[in-house]
Amino acid sequence: MSEQNDNWERGVLEKLAMSAIQEQRRARHWSILFKVLTFGYLFILLYLFMGWGESKKESPLGGSNHTALVNLHGVIAADTAANADDIISSLQDAFEDAHTQGVVLRINSPGGSPVQAGYINDEIRRLRAKHPSIPLYVVVEDICASGGYYIAAAADKIFVNKASMVGSIGVLMDGFGFTGTMEKLGVERRLITAGENKGFLDPFSPANPAQSEYARQMVGEIHQQFIDVVRQGRGQRLKQSPELFSGLVWTGERSIELGLADAEGSLDSVAREVIKAENIVDFTVHEGLADRLAQRFGAGVASALPGFMAKLDRTAIH
């Protein structure tokens, strides 16, 4: 009887031991699987963020002549789709393609940063000088104002719709003053600076006449730079008008009369009738999946990854 009990206990223990071993094996297999999936997921993210999957831009039409298109839409700024780096890269690709017969920069922008617009204007002039046989035309959609027109002025010709809005050759610096509101609320501004103009145009302090005058001079200098760029680009086509550089915006039809634009035209009509290459290839740099992920998750992803990787390391050690 004792021997039977011993055999029964031994059998139970063996079963428990085998069950524990099998459970450990299953846990180890699941752990390995999850680690493989995790590293695979991280590798895909890295693959997208590093742009390893992006191929060099080639002629999508397999060697046929075409009109190269670059779109500039929205506010011109370093942190928007209409930033100088992307637009310049797009233009360079368009000009350097062996089968490009002409480049159309299609603009629909109210303006933006004079610095970003200046970079693009300078690059257009450089590319036109480097590739004299390839014309660059601007086609205006709804609006080409301020910084948008700063860029357009560098083109060989500007085509508009009769109802397009063109111009706004001016510069502004805006802000707010809250001193009256602060007085009503009983709020006292305590501003300590080193340098008499360090609090330049501080919205919570009374307006300083000397600083305001300096700001007007600075804006005036930038305005004159804008005027010089337009005169250089448009030359004798500009009509003499006292309101030309006043900051007003004109319809496309009126802009042709003033010499700010050359003729009415669309992307298709310019490609077909002016460039003589009906096939249109879009060379615009488009926001990729990696960029969208970066904007959506932002710094949160970057801050979470170190802790996540540390957790993986600890799991691997155990």
Task: Give the residue, 108 or 169, on which the prediction is more confident.
Answer: 108
Q: DSSP string covering 244-313, please?
A: TTTT-EEEHHHHHHHTS--EE--HHHIIIIIS----EEE-PPPP-HHHHHHHHHHHHHHHHHHHHHHHHH
Phi, psi of 115 (to 5 degrees): -70, -50
Task: Give the residue, 200 or 226, on which the prediction is more confident.
Answer: 226
Lowest mean pLDDT among 5-14, 16-25, 102-111: 5-14
Helix (H) or strand (E) holding 101: strand 100-109
DSSP symbol at 235: G
Handedness of CA 243, 160, 174, 199 (dihedral sign): negative
Position 1, amino acid: M
The answer to whether 280 touches 267, Cβ cutoff 8 Å, is yes
What would the two tokens of residue 25 be? Answer: 């094996």
Confidence of residue 288 (pLDDT cuts 50, 70, 90): low
Tell which residue, 128, 134, 138, 52, has the closest CA to residue 99: 134
Task: Give the residue, 29 or 159, on which the prediction is more confident.
Answer: 159
Tell me: the pLDDT tens digits for 228-243? 999 999 999 999 888 8
pLDDT of 50 higher than 70: no
Q: Report the pLDDT value the prediction gives residue 306, as an integer from 0 to 100.
A: 47
Lowest mean pLDDT among 92-96, 123-127, 183-187, 216-220: 183-187
Q: Report the pLDDT value the prediction gives residue 194, as an integer from 0 to 100.
A: 83
CB count in 10 Å sphere of residue 310: 10
Confidence of residue 98 (pLDDT cuts 50, 70, 90): very high
Q: Report the pLDDT value the prediction gives residue 147, as an integer from 0 to 100.
A: 95
pLDDT of 316 higher than 50: no
Average pLDDT, the chain: 80
Q: Per residue in 247-257, is it b (16+ CB within 10 Å) or e — as a string?
A: eebbbbebbbe
What would the two tokens of residue 313 be? Answer: 């390391």
144 vs 146: CA distance, rounded Å: 7
